[in-house]
Amino acid sequence: MQRMGMVIGLAPDKVAEYRRLHAAVWPDVLAMISACGIRNYSIFLKEPENLLFGYWEYHGADFAADAAKMAADPTTQAWWAVCMPCQAPLPTRKDGEWWAMMDEVFHHD
């Protein structure tokens, strides 16, 4: 199992919409997340800075392949098309990232 954290900005005028969307995530999107080995997925919002922190645990063997599988799913693509206009990617993210991935610096069970 691999713990993964990521961060992205949220447009101030989209906070209510983003909360509404995530109060009722499409069931097929949730099923794809699970099918790709992702468990214990949470997104946290820090206001007033409007930063989203995402966390999940990856239980697969090939994250790149599972991420590609998710990205190829038409329902997931439609979900992202609804959510992405709400988000404000960090200018310091790596090439190819939307959410900026974070390094784990501490963990305690």
Give the CATH number for residue 74.
Answer: 3.30.70.1090
At 85 the pLDDT is: 98
pTM for this model (two decimals) = 0.93
Q: Are 12 and 105 in contact (CB under 8 A)?
A: no
Condensed to tens digits (0 to 9), the pLDDT of residues 56-109 reads: 999 999 999 999 999 999 999 999 999 999 999 999 999 999 999 999 999 999
The range of the structural domain enclosing residue 76 comes to 2-95
- Active-site annotation holds for 22: yes
Hey, is 46 helix, strand or coil? Answer: strand
| Total domains, the chain | 1
pLDDT of residue 40: 98
- Asked if the peptide bond before residue 91 counts as cis, ω within 30 degrees of 0, the response is no
Beta-strand pair 2-10/100-102 = antiparallel
**Res 24: pLDDT:** 97
Calculate the average pLDDT of the chain.
97
In a domain, 102, yes or no: no
Burial of 14-26, coded b for 16+ CB within 10 Å and e otherwise, reads bbeebeeeeeeee
